Structure formats: structure tokens, C-alpha cells
Amino acid sequence: MIIRIMGEGQYKVSSSLFDELNAIDNRIVGHVATGDEKAYKNDLAVLISKIKENGHVLAAEELVESDVIVPPGDLTLEEAKDVFTDDGIFED
């Protein structure tokens, strides 16, 4: 699975990590829906960290379509309302 973190590049991540990333994504959707900015920021940082820790960075010159695009860690709660809706960025 190829995941792009906006502003930080692409990572090749094992599909076996999907369920864990999806669970974090679902928590983020809930935080955004309730307006819990602290929990939202924390879980977005956890999501990005999991991808970086478990993924292999693709070279910038490699042009590969991303399966999932993760917003940058500085995405505001207001901006997140347009991104983390319904199933979130990892479709269930």
C-alpha cells in the first residue's frame, strides 16, 4: 500500500498495517465530529508516526499513485472537517 503524507513524501506500507491505521483514522473522525482538538491533534500525530515508523520512504523521483493521502500534521481542526468525514481517509 502506498501512502502519501502531504508535504513529506510517499511511504510503502505493508497492507497488514491497514486495520491499525484505519482504527486511528476512525478515532480521528470521531474527534473531528465532536470538536476535540487535543485528541484530534494527538491521533493525527500518531497516524503519521505509525506510517513513518513502519513504512519505507519512496524516492522523490519515483512516480507512484498513492492509495491513501494523509494530510499534514499541522492541519487545523476546521480544515479536518473537510477531510475526516464518514469513513475517513482509510475506507472501511
The pLDDT score that the predictor gives to residue 1 is: 95
H/E element, 57: strand 56-57
Residue 92 has pLDDT above 80, yes or no: no
Residue 83 has pLDDT above 80, yes or no: yes
**Residue 11's pLDDT band (boundaries 50, 70, 90)?**
very high
User: What contacts 80, CB < 8 A, 6 or more positions away?
Assistant: 28, 32, 40, 44, 71
The pLDDT score that the predictor gives to residue 63 is: 82
Residue 12: phi, psi to the nearest 5?
-90, 120
Average pLDDT, the chain: 96
Reported as a single tens digit per residue, the pLDDT across 42-65 is 999 999 999 999 999 999 888 899
The pLDDT score that the predictor gives to residue 28 is: 98
Where do the structural domains in the chain lie, given as residue ranges? 2-80
